[in-house]
Structures are given as structure tokens and as C-alpha cells.
A and B are shown apart, each in its own frame.
Chain A
């Protein structure tokens, strides 16, 4: 049973560029959440996707956008990169509970380390 996978593992970009990170959820899961983890900090919630729509969003600017595909995989896009966007980006998948706004336990992927120069 494959767990959550993310690609790429590492990424180096320069300021002003755009980046796309990818996530495939654990088998059987239909919900994907994205988190940003700065060095030495706990993860911060970016947004969550369910049924191909953004269901919840944290306190992140519109430069952060996402998408969920019919197979439940997801992408995180960041435009106009800033030095402060350097972080570990974690994807977590879960299963929605009875089509409510709740999900079961979230399971994380290995993350993508983004460095902005």
C-alpha cells in the first residue's frame, strides 16, 4: 500500500520565478492538505483540497495556489517567489468523513525542500 508521495525531493529557484510541487495521496484517500514548514518551526497550514475544490485556506497570499485532479493528486503552485518562501513543503492526505467538512487522520509525505536564491 503506497503512502503519500511528493515530487521533486529538492528544488532550487531564484526570486521571481514560479514553482510547482506535486503530491499523490495515500491509496483510498480523497483529501489533500498542504503545509509550509520553515526551518526550526512547526508546519503551517496553506490550504486543503477536496472534490477538486479548495475547501479551507490558511493565512497565505494569493501567490500560493493549488489544484486537485480527478485521481485526487494535487499540485501546489507558488508565483513570484520570495526568499522567505524557502521551506519544506509537506503534503498530507486523508479521507473525508461522511462528506462533511471533517477528515480523518492526516498522513504526510516526505516533503519537498524548496530553496529560493
Chain B
């Protein structure tokens, strides 16, 4: 069975600095997708970034980028130039068919 592990329950960063959130996963599949979702206190799960396993190039979306290491089954999220609005729970998720399998989340605090 596939699993997703987020080993950092909480992280903090100073505004304008860079922070990296870690995620590892376990699967025997070769074709799959990985996601980072953000869940602010408003509860809505917002897609941050998506990575297709067959693509070697790391995905980027503005200030958000990933470091995808397929052999190591690692998928970390880097947030550059952190902003107060980045404070939220961040969930790493895996999918190879249709259902999403989530990690337990990392709470990110951003200090001014």
C-alpha cells in the first residue's frame, strides 16, 4: 500500500526568507502524481503545485518549487520569499489512479 510521510509537524520561517518542507512516500508504481496542498485556517484545501513522476524536471509555481527525487522517493517543497499569507497547514499527497493519499501535514508559521 502506498504511504506518505511528513516528518515535520511544525516549521517556522521569517518573512522574506526561504523554507523547505519535507515529504517522503512509498510506492511500487512507476507512474504517479505528487501534490502539495495548502490548508489555511479557512479550511479550504488549495493546490500549490503538482509533479508528474515521469517528468525529470522539478515543477515550479512562482515562489513555490519542488525537489523531486524519484529514486529516493522524496518530494520536498521550497517556499521562497515567504509571506505572512503562506502561514497554513501544508499537505503532501500521492495519487496513481484517482484517490489522493495524504500525509499528516506540516504547520508553517511565518513571523514578521
Docked-complex contact A42 and B45, CB < 8 angstroms: no
Residues of B within 8 A of A106 (CB): 95, 100
Q: Is the CB of B44 within 8 A of A56?
A: no
A41 to B18, CA, bound (A): 26
With A41-B104, A105-B35 as given contacts, are A56 and B43 in contact (CB-CB < 8 Å)? Answer: no
The answer on a CB contact under 8 Å between B50 and A105 is: yes
Contact (A42, B105) CB under 8 Å given A48-B98, A101-B97: yes
Q: Can you name the residue of chain B whose Cβ is closest to the Cβ of A112?
A: B43
Chain B, interface size category, equals 20 to 34
CB <8 Å contact, B35 and A43: no
Which residues of B lie under 8 Å from residue A33 when comparing CB positions?
A: 98-100
* A92 to B27 alpha-carbon distance, docked (Å): 23
Assess whether B75 is interfacial by the CB under 8 Å rule: no
Closest A residue, CB atoms, query B42 = A110
A-B contact pairs, 18 of them (CB 8 A): A33-B98, A33-B99, A33-B100, A35-B100, A43-B45, A43-B91, A43-B102, A44-B102, A45-B99, A45-B100, A55-B98, A56-B99, A101-B97, A102-B97, A105-B33, A105-B47, A110-B42, A113-B43
